[in-house]
Amino acid sequence: MEVNDSAQHNNIAQPLSRYLPLLVVAVFVVFFFRTFESLFTRWIKWDEGLSHGLLVIGAFLLFLYQSLPWQSHKQHRLLTLFFVVAIGIGSLCWFLFRTVNISILEQLVLLPLLATFYAACFGIKAAWHHRVLLMLPIFAIPLWDQLNDLLLSLSSLVVGEMVRMIEMPALIQGNSIFIPYGHILIADGCSGLRYFVIALAMGYIIAYFNHYGERRLAITLIIAALIGLVANWIRIFILILVGYQTQMQSGLMKDHEYFGWILFALLCIPAIYFAPVVHKQRVQELRPEELAKPRWLSPLIALALGPLAALSLNFTPEASPWKDRLNTRIMAVNVNRMPMTVTAPKPGYRENGLIDIENVQVFVQVDQYQRQHSTDKLVPYISNLYNTENWSQISSEIQEPGKLTLLNHKSGLRRIAQLQWFELDQYKTHSLAKAKLMQIPAMMRDQNRFAIVTLQSECLVLHCDNAMAALKQAAQLINTGEQQ
């Protein structure tokens, strides 16, 4: 009888213990439903970069089911207490990120939170044993969107060099390639982000399925990343060749989505076929004295802290009347134009003005935002603040309180100097990333205002020295005038 009880305990045959890892995922979906709801909305947009998200989550659940049952390890109570405290802190961090609407951190914090919950419930050895599986959902989170600009610049650089190598008559300006028959723009959708992330996810799944170690996993991911990048570079290069040979008349120039996926598949299939297979390693059975019952109650209570705070604490923003920012004593207002259009998200309130600095005109635009509802973002999502199809950046430098940038129209006929910064009430920064982080203390101080301040001056000569000097003086006048 004792032998049977020991065997039953060793195999974790009790239904609750056997399926507890899957039940934990269900609990996470219930506790953090709003986060999963927003992710699901992204996953079902088949034309977006996260269209593979449902497949990744499906693979994760399948592999998690195949990994059952998990053996629960004995560990010191202090270590378990540490994990429980970490769960509580992580859950409250989720609440904080959700309250200030920093979606990427709200979603990302769930991954270490899940791993920590398993470590508290089954022991750190069990969580470490399944570490590769627990990291798989990272490919279903829009964390990778942050790489879009980098991959776009890389694609423009590589494809531009490929065009130069074949000596095609073309003018290359950043992400724009002008051929005798038209303009080919390597836009945001041509960054190759989708191919890159899907290739990484496929490589990761192959590595897990074949039981690769960390070294072989890293090599697999490097190869997968290269396949994704190269597929996109070849796709853009072929489109340029087709555009040149057909004088931009080929239907492929307008509808090349399927062409890209076919090319991607042609590169992926051989790599998948030749991926080395490692025979499944036998799972080491623990001795009875090393086993313990899963500890789920205290981790569950700690996990509930964030969702309970979200239900009980209501940080509904208080919208206040808009206030004019531009000082009529130092500038003319209601000048409804800018030398270059600022492609900011639709503001709650916009002001335009004009300052004359030693016969140099400086155009000013202030876009103000505030949260009307708890689900609104104080700092809206911003991709680009100027039209990258028509304008290219020549140079930029930090000039307090913002960034001083020179931009050239791709026609070559105009050049603009711009000084731009972001404001959260009294806090000013040139960095959008810093502005997003400052949402947290701003919310704690019940501050509900964000603004994009843009100063522009059109260069009369190519070196733009007068325009840049005028922008700096105008910024000082604006900030001094606000303090008076």
Residue (of 121, 72, 116) closest to 91 by Cα position: 116
Answer whether 0.85 is exceeded by the pTM. Answer: no
Residue (of 14, 6, 27, 213) closest to 113 by Cα position: 27
Q: pLDDT tens digits for 5-55?
A: 444 444 444 566 788 999 999 999 999 999 999 999 888 886 566 888 999
Separation CA 426–CA 31 (nearest Å): 36
Ranges of residues in the chain with a pLDDT under 50 are 1-13, 483-484
Task: Rounding to the nearest 10 degrees, give the CA dihedral for residues 355, 360, 361, 363.
Answer: -80
Which long-range contacts does 392-399 make (Cβ < 8 Å, 24+ apart)?
392/173, 392/174, 392/175, 392/176, 393/174, 398/430, 399/471, 399/472, 399/475
Predicted pLDDT of residue 8: 44
Task: Rounding to the nearest 10 degrees, give the CA dihedral for residues 36, 40, 41, 42.
Answer: 110
Residue (of 298, 305, 297) closest to 89 by Cα position: 305
Predicted pLDDT of residue 206: 93
Q: Is the peptide bond before 270 cis (omega within 30 degrees of 0)?
A: no
Separation CA 107–CA 121 (nearest Å): 22
Separation CA 484–CA 270 (nearest Å): 69
| HEC assignment per residue over the chain | CHHHHHHHHHHCCCHHHHCHHHHHHHHHHHHCHHHHHHHHHHHCCCCCCCCCHHHHHHHHHHHHHHCCCCCCECCCHHHHHHHHHHHHHHHHHHHHHHHCCCHHHHHHCHHHHHHHHHHHHHCHHHHHHCHHHHCHHHHHCHHHHHHHHHHHHHHHHHHHHHHHHCCCCCEEECCEEEECCEEEECCHHHCCHHHHHHHHHHHHHHHHHCCCCHHHHHHHHHHHHHHHHHHHHHHHHHHHHHHHHCCCCCHHHCCCHHHHHHHHHHHHHHHHHCCCCCCCCCCCCCCHHHECCCCCHHHHHHHCHHHHHHHHCCCCCCCCCCCCCCCCCCCEECCCCCCCCCCCCCCCEEEEEEEEECCEEEEEEEEEECCCCCCCCCCCCCCCCCCCCCEEEEEEEEECCEEEEEEEECCCCCEEEEEEEEEECCEEECCHHHHHHCHHHHHHCCCCCEEEEEEEEECCCCCCHHHHHHHHHHHHHHHHHHHC
Q: pLDDT tens digits for 180-221?
A: 888 887 777 778 888 999 999 999 999 998 888 889 999 999
Q: Assign residue 128 a region (left: φ > 0; alpha: ψ between -120 and 50; beta: otherwise).
A: alpha
